[in-house]
Structure 1
Amino acid sequence: MKLDILAIGVHPDDVELGCSGTLINEIKNGKKVGVVDLTQGELGTRGTIDTRYTEAVKAAEVMGVHVRENLKMRDGFFKNDEEHQLKLISALRKYQPEIVIANILHDRHPDHGRAGHLIADACFLSGLTKVKTNDEDGNPQEKWRPKYVLHYLQDWYHEPDLIIDISDVFEQRMKAIEAYGTQFFSTGEANDEPVTYISTPDFLDSVTARARMLGKRIGVKYGEGYISEKKIGIRSLDALVQNET
Protein backbone atom coordinates (compact mmCIF):
# COMPACT_ATOMS: atom_id res chain seq x y z
CA MET A 1 0.00 0.00 0.00
CA LYS A 2 1.47 3.32 -1.03
CA LEU A 3 0.90 5.96 1.64
CA ASP A 4 0.72 9.72 1.48
CA ILE A 5 1.96 10.05 5.08
CA LEU A 6 3.84 7.65 7.33
CA ALA A 7 4.06 8.55 11.03
CA ILE A 8 6.83 6.79 12.95
CA GLY A 9 7.19 6.55 16.72
CA VAL A 10 9.79 4.73 18.76
CA HIS A 11 7.15 3.77 21.35
CA PRO A 12 3.46 2.99 20.86
CA ASP A 13 1.73 6.23 21.97
CA ASP A 14 4.46 8.58 20.63
CA VAL A 15 2.55 9.17 17.41
CA GLU A 16 -0.71 9.75 19.27
CA LEU A 17 0.88 12.32 21.58
CA GLY A 18 2.91 14.03 18.88
CA CYS A 19 0.95 14.15 15.65
CA SER A 20 -2.39 12.34 15.84
CA GLY A 21 -4.39 15.52 15.25
CA THR A 22 -2.54 16.12 12.01
CA LEU A 23 -3.02 12.50 10.94
CA ILE A 24 -6.76 12.65 11.62
CA ASN A 25 -6.99 15.90 9.64
CA GLU A 26 -5.22 14.37 6.65
CA ILE A 27 -7.31 11.19 6.74
CA LYS A 28 -10.45 13.33 6.68
CA ASN A 29 -8.95 15.04 3.62
CA GLY A 30 -8.71 11.70 1.84
CA LYS A 31 -5.02 10.94 2.41
CA LYS A 32 -3.72 7.43 3.01
CA VAL A 33 -1.92 7.38 6.36
CA GLY A 34 0.03 4.70 8.19
CA VAL A 35 1.90 4.29 11.47
CA VAL A 36 5.09 2.35 12.18
CA ASP A 37 6.12 1.77 15.80
CA LEU A 38 9.82 0.96 16.14
CA THR A 39 9.59 -0.89 19.49
CA GLN A 40 6.92 -2.65 21.51
CA GLY A 41 7.42 -0.32 24.48
CA GLU A 42 8.42 -3.30 26.57
CA LEU A 43 10.40 -1.24 29.10
CA GLY A 44 7.37 0.84 30.06
CA THR A 45 6.68 0.69 33.82
CA ARG A 46 2.95 0.21 33.39
CA GLY A 47 1.18 -2.36 31.24
CA THR A 48 2.66 -5.18 29.15
CA ILE A 49 3.57 -5.86 25.54
CA ASP A 50 0.15 -7.43 25.05
CA THR A 51 -1.75 -4.49 26.50
CA ARG A 52 0.36 -2.10 24.44
CA TYR A 53 -0.60 -3.90 21.22
CA THR A 54 -4.27 -3.84 22.22
CA GLU A 55 -4.07 -0.13 23.00
CA ALA A 56 -2.22 0.61 19.74
CA VAL A 57 -4.93 -1.14 17.74
CA LYS A 58 -7.64 0.83 19.54
CA ALA A 59 -5.81 4.11 18.98
CA ALA A 60 -5.34 3.29 15.29
CA GLU A 61 -9.09 2.71 14.98
CA VAL A 62 -9.82 6.05 16.66
CA MET A 63 -7.45 7.86 14.29
CA GLY A 64 -8.66 5.91 11.25
CA VAL A 65 -5.18 5.06 9.95
CA HIS A 66 -5.00 2.63 7.06
CA VAL A 67 -2.16 0.44 8.36
CA ARG A 68 -0.06 0.06 11.51
CA GLU A 69 2.91 -2.22 12.09
CA ASN A 70 5.62 -2.74 14.68
CA LEU A 71 9.27 -3.32 13.73
CA LYS A 72 10.06 -4.89 17.13
CA MET A 73 13.36 -3.13 17.75
CA ARG A 74 14.62 -3.35 21.34
CA ASP A 75 13.06 -0.70 23.52
CA GLY A 76 15.84 1.35 25.12
CA PHE A 77 18.66 -0.47 23.34
CA PHE A 78 18.10 -0.06 19.60
CA LYS A 79 20.84 1.80 17.74
CA ASN A 80 21.14 4.14 14.80
CA ASP A 81 23.31 1.67 12.90
CA GLU A 82 23.25 -0.21 9.61
CA GLU A 83 21.10 -3.08 10.89
CA HIS A 84 18.34 -0.82 12.21
CA GLN A 85 18.58 1.62 9.30
CA LEU A 86 18.07 -1.19 6.77
CA LYS A 87 15.06 -2.50 8.68
CA LEU A 88 13.46 0.92 8.59
CA ILE A 89 14.48 1.53 4.97
CA SER A 90 12.62 -1.63 4.00
CA ALA A 91 9.46 -0.23 5.62
CA LEU A 92 9.91 3.14 3.90
CA ARG A 93 10.27 1.47 0.52
CA LYS A 94 7.28 -0.73 1.25
CA TYR A 95 4.94 2.21 1.93
CA GLN A 96 6.62 4.91 -0.24
CA PRO A 97 5.29 7.87 1.79
CA GLU A 98 5.49 11.39 0.42
CA ILE A 99 5.87 12.74 3.96
CA VAL A 100 7.33 11.09 7.05
CA ILE A 101 6.45 12.39 10.51
CA ALA A 102 9.03 11.33 13.10
CA ASN A 103 10.23 11.59 16.68
CA ILE A 104 11.97 14.79 17.74
CA LEU A 105 15.77 14.99 17.42
CA HIS A 106 16.51 15.80 21.09
CA ASP A 107 14.31 15.15 24.12
CA ARG A 108 14.05 14.10 27.77
CA HIS A 109 13.76 10.41 26.80
CA PRO A 110 16.97 9.33 24.99
CA ASP A 111 14.99 6.92 22.79
CA HIS A 112 13.13 9.85 21.24
CA GLY A 113 16.19 11.68 19.96
CA ARG A 114 17.96 8.50 18.89
CA ALA A 115 14.86 7.43 16.97
CA GLY A 116 14.52 10.87 15.38
CA HIS A 117 18.04 10.65 13.99
CA LEU A 118 17.56 7.02 12.94
CA ILE A 119 14.42 7.94 11.00
CA ALA A 120 16.03 10.99 9.36
CA ASP A 121 19.10 8.97 8.31
CA ALA A 122 17.00 6.07 7.03
CA CYS A 123 14.83 8.45 4.97
CA PHE A 124 17.95 9.78 3.23
CA LEU A 125 19.59 6.40 2.70
CA SER A 126 16.34 4.95 1.38
CA GLY A 127 16.78 7.17 -1.68
CA LEU A 128 20.14 5.66 -2.63
CA THR A 129 20.08 3.05 -5.40
CA LYS A 130 23.08 1.15 -4.04
CA VAL A 131 21.48 0.59 -0.64
CA LYS A 132 19.86 -2.81 -1.18
CA THR A 133 16.80 -4.15 0.66
CA ASN A 134 14.21 -6.84 0.00
CA ASP A 135 10.49 -7.08 0.75
CA GLU A 136 8.86 -9.80 2.87
CA ASP A 137 8.92 -12.19 -0.11
CA GLY A 138 12.60 -11.63 -0.80
CA ASN A 139 12.06 -9.40 -3.84
CA PRO A 140 14.41 -6.41 -4.34
CA GLN A 141 12.86 -3.08 -3.41
CA GLU A 142 13.14 0.14 -5.39
CA LYS A 143 14.71 3.22 -3.83
CA TRP A 144 12.37 5.76 -2.24
CA ARG A 145 12.94 9.04 -0.46
CA PRO A 146 10.09 11.05 1.12
CA LYS A 147 9.85 14.68 0.10
CA TYR A 148 9.74 15.91 3.71
CA VAL A 149 10.61 14.61 7.16
CA LEU A 150 8.81 16.49 9.93
CA HIS A 151 9.66 15.97 13.61
CA TYR A 152 6.82 16.32 16.11
CA LEU A 153 7.33 17.99 19.49
CA GLN A 154 7.56 15.71 22.53
CA ASP A 155 8.39 16.41 26.18
CA TRP A 156 10.91 19.25 25.83
CA TYR A 157 9.70 22.34 24.01
CA HIS A 158 11.34 23.27 20.72
CA GLU A 159 10.37 26.29 18.66
CA PRO A 160 8.36 24.82 15.77
CA ASP A 161 8.96 25.60 12.11
CA LEU A 162 5.38 24.67 11.28
CA ILE A 163 2.14 24.67 13.30
CA ILE A 164 -0.95 22.82 12.06
CA ASP A 165 -4.48 23.70 13.15
CA ILE A 166 -6.07 20.64 14.81
CA SER A 167 -9.01 22.43 16.44
CA ASP A 168 -11.71 20.50 14.58
CA VAL A 169 -10.28 17.09 15.56
CA PHE A 170 -8.90 17.80 19.02
CA GLU A 171 -11.42 15.66 20.91
CA GLN A 172 -10.79 12.73 18.56
CA ARG A 173 -7.06 13.22 19.06
CA MET A 174 -7.45 13.04 22.83
CA LYS A 175 -9.49 9.84 22.52
CA ALA A 176 -6.60 8.30 20.57
CA ILE A 177 -4.19 9.24 23.37
CA GLU A 178 -6.55 7.97 26.06
CA ALA A 179 -6.69 4.59 24.29
CA TYR A 180 -3.45 3.88 26.20
CA GLY A 181 -5.28 3.29 29.47
CA THR A 182 -2.33 1.58 31.15
CA GLN A 183 0.00 4.48 30.30
CA PHE A 184 -2.00 7.56 31.17
CA PHE A 185 -4.32 8.57 33.97
CA SER A 186 -7.66 6.77 34.10
CA THR A 187 -10.14 5.73 36.76
CA GLY A 188 -9.78 2.02 35.94
CA GLU A 189 -7.52 -0.77 37.15
CA ALA A 190 -4.42 0.95 35.80
CA ASN A 191 -4.45 3.13 38.93
CA ASP A 192 -3.21 0.09 40.88
CA GLU A 193 0.06 0.23 38.95
CA PRO A 194 3.04 2.42 39.93
CA VAL A 195 2.66 6.15 39.39
CA THR A 196 4.90 7.44 36.61
CA TYR A 197 5.74 10.79 35.06
CA ILE A 198 3.06 10.34 32.39
CA SER A 199 0.35 8.63 34.48
CA THR A 200 -0.76 11.64 36.51
CA PRO A 201 -3.71 13.88 35.55
CA ASP A 202 -1.23 16.76 35.27
CA PHE A 203 0.48 15.12 32.29
CA LEU A 204 -2.68 15.01 30.16
CA ASP A 205 -3.43 18.57 31.28
CA SER A 206 -0.01 19.57 29.94
CA VAL A 207 -0.80 17.88 26.61
CA THR A 208 -3.90 20.04 26.28
CA ALA A 209 -2.04 23.15 27.42
CA ARG A 210 0.67 22.60 24.78
CA ALA A 211 -1.96 22.28 22.05
CA ARG A 212 -3.70 25.44 23.26
CA MET A 213 -0.43 27.39 23.34
CA LEU A 214 0.52 26.30 19.82
CA GLY A 215 -2.97 27.06 18.57
CA LYS A 216 -2.80 30.55 20.02
CA ARG A 217 0.42 31.15 18.09
CA ILE A 218 -1.53 30.85 14.82
CA GLY A 219 -4.85 32.27 16.00
CA VAL A 220 -6.78 29.01 16.45
CA LYS A 221 -7.86 26.96 19.46
CA TYR A 222 -5.48 23.97 19.19
CA GLY A 223 -2.32 23.26 17.23
CA GLU A 224 0.46 20.71 16.71
CA GLY A 225 4.03 21.86 16.08
CA TYR A 226 6.76 20.42 13.88
CA ILE A 227 10.47 20.86 13.22
CA SER A 228 11.77 20.55 9.66
CA GLU A 229 15.48 20.46 8.85
CA LYS A 230 14.53 21.08 5.23
CA LYS A 231 13.13 24.55 4.55
CA ILE A 232 9.44 24.53 3.65
CA GLY A 233 8.60 26.64 0.60
CA ILE A 234 5.42 27.81 -1.11
CA ARG A 235 4.81 28.53 -4.81
CA SER A 236 3.04 31.86 -4.29
CA LEU A 237 1.78 34.20 -1.60
CA ASP A 238 -1.74 32.97 -2.38
CA ALA A 239 -0.99 29.95 -0.18
CA LEU A 240 -0.63 32.26 2.82
CA VAL A 241 -3.98 33.92 2.15
CA GLN A 242 -5.77 30.61 1.55
CA ASN A 243 -4.45 29.19 4.83
CA GLU A 244 -5.27 32.27 6.93
CA THR A 245 -7.86 31.49 9.64
Structure 2
Amino acid sequence: MKLDILAFGVHPDDVELSCSGVLAKEISKGKKVGIIDLTQGEMGTRGSKEIRANEAKKAAEILGAEVRENLNFRDAFVTNDEAHQLKVIEMIRKYQPEIVFCNAVEDRHIDHGKASELVSHACFLSGLRKLETRQDNKIQEAWRPKKVLHYIQWKEIEPDIVVDISGFMETKLKVVTAYASQFYVENAKEPETPISSSNFLDSVTYRAQNLGRLIGTEHAEGFTLENHPAIDSVFDLI
Protein backbone atom coordinates (compact mmCIF):
# COMPACT_ATOMS: atom_id res chain seq x y z
CA MET A 1 0.00 0.00 0.00
CA LYS A 2 1.36 3.38 -0.98
CA LEU A 3 0.85 6.14 1.59
CA ASP A 4 1.00 9.91 1.26
CA ILE A 5 2.40 10.45 4.76
CA LEU A 6 4.27 8.07 7.06
CA ALA A 7 4.62 9.34 10.62
CA PHE A 8 7.30 7.80 12.83
CA GLY A 9 7.34 8.03 16.63
CA VAL A 10 9.84 6.38 18.92
CA HIS A 11 7.08 5.89 21.53
CA PRO A 12 3.37 5.23 21.05
CA ASP A 13 1.76 8.68 21.66
CA ASP A 14 4.63 10.77 20.19
CA VAL A 15 2.81 11.16 16.88
CA GLU A 16 -0.52 11.93 18.54
CA LEU A 17 0.91 14.62 20.80
CA SER A 18 2.92 16.35 18.11
CA CYS A 19 1.40 16.10 14.64
CA SER A 20 -1.99 14.41 14.82
CA GLY A 21 -3.77 17.66 13.97
CA VAL A 22 -2.00 17.85 10.62
CA LEU A 23 -2.56 14.14 10.02
CA ALA A 24 -6.28 14.48 10.76
CA LYS A 25 -6.52 17.45 8.40
CA GLU A 26 -4.79 15.61 5.55
CA ILE A 27 -6.88 12.48 6.11
CA SER A 28 -9.99 14.67 5.78
CA LYS A 29 -8.68 15.70 2.36
CA GLY A 30 -8.37 12.08 1.27
CA LYS A 31 -4.67 11.57 1.96
CA LYS A 32 -3.53 8.14 3.15
CA VAL A 33 -1.58 8.19 6.41
CA GLY A 34 0.30 5.52 8.33
CA ILE A 35 2.06 5.44 11.70
CA ILE A 36 5.19 3.50 12.66
CA ASP A 37 6.07 3.22 16.35
CA LEU A 38 9.71 2.29 16.88
CA THR A 39 9.27 0.91 20.41
CA GLN A 40 6.45 -0.38 22.58
CA GLY A 41 7.10 2.25 25.25
CA GLU A 42 7.88 -0.52 27.69
CA MET A 43 10.19 1.62 29.83
CA GLY A 44 7.44 4.11 30.60
CA THR A 45 6.67 4.60 34.30
CA ARG A 46 2.95 4.13 33.82
CA GLY A 47 1.04 1.35 32.16
CA SER A 48 2.58 -1.55 30.25
CA LYS A 49 3.47 -2.39 26.67
CA GLU A 50 0.22 -4.34 26.34
CA ILE A 51 -1.83 -1.37 27.53
CA ARG A 52 0.09 0.99 25.24
CA ALA A 53 -0.53 -1.32 22.28
CA ASN A 54 -4.29 -1.23 22.87
CA GLU A 55 -4.22 2.54 23.31
CA ALA A 56 -2.20 2.96 20.09
CA LYS A 57 -4.71 0.84 18.18
CA LYS A 58 -7.60 2.91 19.51
CA ALA A 59 -5.85 6.19 18.68
CA ALA A 60 -5.12 5.08 15.11
CA GLU A 61 -8.77 4.12 14.63
CA ILE A 62 -9.97 7.50 15.91
CA LEU A 63 -7.51 9.30 13.66
CA GLY A 64 -8.37 7.23 10.60
CA ALA A 65 -4.85 6.00 9.87
CA GLU A 66 -4.61 3.35 7.17
CA VAL A 67 -1.98 1.31 9.02
CA ARG A 68 -0.02 1.28 12.25
CA GLU A 69 2.99 -0.93 12.87
CA ASN A 70 5.49 -1.34 15.70
CA LEU A 71 9.14 -2.21 15.02
CA ASN A 72 9.69 -3.42 18.61
CA PHE A 73 13.02 -1.68 19.11
CA ARG A 74 14.19 -1.54 22.73
CA ASP A 75 12.70 1.46 24.48
CA ALA A 76 15.44 3.80 25.81
CA PHE A 77 18.10 1.99 23.75
CA VAL A 78 17.27 3.02 20.20
CA THR A 79 20.49 3.43 18.22
CA ASN A 80 21.19 4.94 14.83
CA ASP A 81 23.10 1.94 13.48
CA GLU A 82 22.81 -0.31 10.44
CA ALA A 83 20.45 -2.84 12.01
CA HIS A 84 17.96 -0.16 13.10
CA GLN A 85 18.31 1.76 9.83
CA LEU A 86 17.51 -1.29 7.73
CA LYS A 87 14.27 -1.94 9.64
CA VAL A 88 13.16 1.66 9.13
CA ILE A 89 14.17 1.55 5.45
CA GLU A 90 11.97 -1.52 4.99
CA MET A 91 8.99 0.48 6.24
CA ILE A 92 9.78 3.46 4.00
CA ARG A 93 10.09 1.23 0.95
CA LYS A 94 7.01 -0.75 1.90
CA TYR A 95 4.75 2.32 2.08
CA GLN A 96 6.59 4.72 -0.28
CA PRO A 97 5.44 7.94 1.42
CA GLU A 98 5.86 11.34 -0.21
CA ILE A 99 6.32 12.93 3.23
CA VAL A 100 7.77 11.53 6.46
CA PHE A 101 7.17 12.97 9.93
CA CYS A 102 9.59 12.07 12.72
CA ASN A 103 10.65 12.98 16.25
CA ALA A 104 12.04 16.32 17.36
CA VAL A 105 15.68 16.94 16.49
CA GLU A 106 16.46 17.31 20.21
CA ASP A 107 14.35 16.93 23.31
CA ARG A 108 14.12 16.12 26.99
CA HIS A 109 13.79 12.37 26.34
CA ILE A 110 17.02 11.03 24.84
CA ASP A 111 15.14 8.62 22.57
CA HIS A 112 13.51 11.51 20.70
CA GLY A 113 16.70 13.00 19.28
CA LYS A 114 18.17 9.56 18.55
CA ALA A 115 15.03 8.46 16.71
CA SER A 116 14.94 11.74 14.80
CA GLU A 117 18.43 11.16 13.44
CA LEU A 118 17.75 7.46 12.79
CA VAL A 119 14.65 8.08 10.67
CA SER A 120 16.28 11.01 8.86
CA HIS A 121 19.29 8.91 7.87
CA ALA A 122 17.05 5.99 6.88
CA CYS A 123 15.05 8.27 4.57
CA PHE A 124 18.23 9.13 2.69
CA LEU A 125 19.58 5.59 2.61
CA SER A 126 16.24 4.26 1.41
CA GLY A 127 16.88 6.00 -1.91
CA LEU A 128 20.11 4.12 -2.60
CA ARG A 129 19.42 1.54 -5.31
CA LYS A 130 22.38 -0.65 -4.38
CA LEU A 131 21.20 -0.98 -0.78
CA GLU A 132 19.12 -4.16 -0.82
CA THR A 133 16.22 -4.87 1.49
CA ARG A 134 13.58 -7.56 1.18
CA GLN A 135 9.94 -7.98 2.08
CA ASP A 136 8.19 -11.33 1.69
CA ASN A 137 11.39 -12.61 0.03
CA LYS A 138 11.14 -9.97 -2.69
CA ILE A 139 13.68 -7.21 -3.23
CA GLN A 140 12.16 -3.85 -2.37
CA GLU A 141 12.25 -0.88 -4.71
CA ALA A 142 14.44 2.05 -3.62
CA TRP A 143 12.35 4.98 -2.37
CA ARG A 144 13.26 8.37 -0.92
CA PRO A 145 10.55 10.64 0.53
CA LYS A 146 10.37 14.12 -0.94
CA LYS A 147 10.24 15.85 2.45
CA VAL A 148 11.20 14.95 6.03
CA LEU A 149 9.54 17.04 8.74
CA HIS A 150 10.54 16.93 12.41
CA TYR A 151 7.70 17.68 14.77
CA ILE A 152 8.13 19.57 18.06
CA GLN A 153 7.79 17.84 21.42
CA TRP A 154 8.74 18.82 24.97
CA LYS A 155 11.23 21.58 24.16
CA GLU A 156 10.06 24.86 22.68
CA ILE A 157 11.97 24.56 19.41
CA GLU A 158 11.50 27.41 16.92
CA PRO A 159 9.51 25.98 13.99
CA ASP A 160 10.51 26.45 10.37
CA ILE A 161 6.90 26.08 9.25
CA VAL A 162 3.59 26.35 11.10
CA VAL A 163 0.53 24.49 9.81
CA ASP A 164 -3.04 25.57 10.54
CA ILE A 165 -5.03 22.77 12.21
CA SER A 166 -8.12 24.82 13.11
CA GLY A 167 -11.15 22.54 13.17
CA PHE A 168 -9.08 19.47 14.00
CA MET A 169 -8.17 20.16 17.63
CA GLU A 170 -11.04 18.03 18.90
CA THR A 171 -9.72 15.03 16.98
CA LYS A 172 -6.21 15.68 18.26
CA LEU A 173 -7.41 15.70 21.86
CA LYS A 174 -9.37 12.49 21.33
CA VAL A 175 -6.35 10.61 19.98
CA VAL A 176 -4.09 11.97 22.73
CA THR A 177 -6.47 11.02 25.53
CA ALA A 178 -6.80 7.54 24.07
CA TYR A 179 -3.58 7.00 26.04
CA ALA A 180 -5.36 7.03 29.38
CA SER A 181 -2.45 5.22 31.06
CA GLN A 182 -0.02 8.03 30.30
CA PHE A 183 -1.78 11.33 30.91
CA TYR A 184 -3.66 13.14 33.63
CA VAL A 185 -6.48 11.30 35.34
CA GLU A 186 -7.90 12.64 38.59
CA ASN A 187 -6.97 10.55 41.65
CA ALA A 188 -4.70 8.27 39.64
CA LYS A 189 -2.86 5.71 41.75
CA GLU A 190 0.19 5.34 39.52
CA PRO A 191 3.37 7.41 40.02
CA GLU A 192 3.43 10.95 38.71
CA THR A 193 5.54 11.66 35.65
CA PRO A 194 6.42 14.83 33.70
CA ILE A 195 3.57 14.09 31.26
CA SER A 196 0.92 12.96 33.75
CA SER A 197 0.14 16.41 35.17
CA SER A 198 -2.97 18.36 34.28
CA ASN A 199 -0.66 21.17 33.14
CA PHE A 200 0.94 18.93 30.53
CA LEU A 201 -2.42 17.78 29.18
CA ASP A 202 -3.58 21.41 29.05
CA SER A 203 -0.38 22.27 27.18
CA VAL A 204 -1.50 20.21 24.19
CA THR A 205 -4.20 22.83 23.66
CA TYR A 206 -2.44 26.01 24.72
CA ARG A 207 0.68 25.29 22.69
CA ALA A 208 -1.50 24.72 19.61
CA GLN A 209 -3.35 27.93 20.41
CA ASN A 210 -0.10 29.87 20.68
CA LEU A 211 1.21 28.58 17.35
CA GLY A 212 -2.19 29.43 15.86
CA ARG A 213 -1.93 32.93 17.30
CA LEU A 214 1.39 33.42 15.51
CA ILE A 215 -0.19 32.76 12.11
CA GLY A 216 -3.59 34.29 12.82
CA THR A 217 -5.56 31.06 13.22
CA GLU A 218 -7.16 29.20 16.10
CA HIS A 219 -4.78 26.23 16.36
CA ALA A 220 -1.58 25.10 14.64
CA GLU A 221 1.33 22.66 14.78
CA GLY A 222 4.97 23.45 14.07
CA PHE A 223 7.78 21.56 12.36
CA THR A 224 11.46 21.94 11.56
CA LEU A 225 12.72 21.11 8.09
CA GLU A 226 15.88 19.57 6.68
CA ASN A 227 15.85 21.70 3.55
CA HIS A 228 14.14 24.79 2.19
CA PRO A 229 10.41 24.62 1.56
CA ALA A 230 9.59 25.21 -2.11
CA ILE A 231 6.55 27.19 -3.24
CA ASP A 232 5.21 27.87 -6.72
CA SER A 233 3.93 31.36 -5.98
CA VAL A 234 4.34 33.93 -3.22
CA PHE A 235 0.56 33.71 -2.88
CA ASP A 236 1.02 30.18 -1.53
CA LEU A 237 2.18 31.94 1.64
CA ILE A 238 -1.21 33.53 2.19
TM-score range, shorter chain: over 0.9
Which whole-Å deviations, capped at 9, do the CAs of 1:42-63 have from their partners, x for residues lacking one?
Answer: 0000000110000001100111
| TM score, norm. by length of structure 2 | 0.98
Query: What SS is found at the alignment partner of 1:154?
Result: coil
Query: Structure 1 stretches of 5 or more lacking a match?
Result: none
Aligned residue pairs total 238
- Alpha-carbon distance between aligned partners in 2 of 1:166 and 1:62, rounded to the nearest angstrom: 16
Which whole-Å deviations, capped at 9, do the CAs of 1:183-230 have from their partners, x for residues lacking one?
Answer: 001247xx1111111011010112211111100110001100000011
CA drift at 1:239: 1.7
Which whole-Å deviations, capped at 9, do the CAs of 1:18-42 have from their partners, x for residues lacking one?
Answer: 1000000000000000000000000
* % same residue: 56
Moved runs in structure 1, 4+ residues, more than 3 A?
A: none
Instruction: Select between 200-209 and 33-42 the one with higher mean Cα deviation.
Output: 200-209
- Alpha-carbon distance between aligned partners in 1 of 2:11 and 2:190, rounded to the nearest angstrom: 19
AA of the residue aligned to 2:155: W
Aligned partner of 2:40 in structure 1 is 40
Query: Structure 2 stretches of 5 or more lacking a match?
Result: none
- Alpha-carbon distance between aligned partners in 2 of 1:183 and 1:231, rounded to the nearest angstrom: 36
Instruction: Select between 199-208 and 115-124 the one with higher mean Cα deviation.
Output: 199-208
Which whole-Å deviations, capped at 9, do the CAs of 1:116-140 have from their partners, x for residues lacking one?
Answer: 00000000000001111001x1110
CA drift at 1:167: 1.2
Query: What SS is found at the alignment partner of 1:202?
Result: helix
Aligned partner of 2:119 in structure 1 is 119
- Alpha-carbon distance between aligned partners in 1 of 2:67 and 2:236, rounded to the nearest angstrom: 31
Q: CA RMSD in A?
A: 0.9
Matched, 1:225 2:184: no
CA gap 1:106/1:71 in 2 versus in 1, 3 angstroms = same
| TM score, norm. by length of structure 1 | 0.96
AA of the residue aligned to 1:210: R
Aligned partner of 1:68 in structure 2 is 68
AA of the residue aligned to 1:157: E
Aligned partner of 2:106 in structure 1 is 106
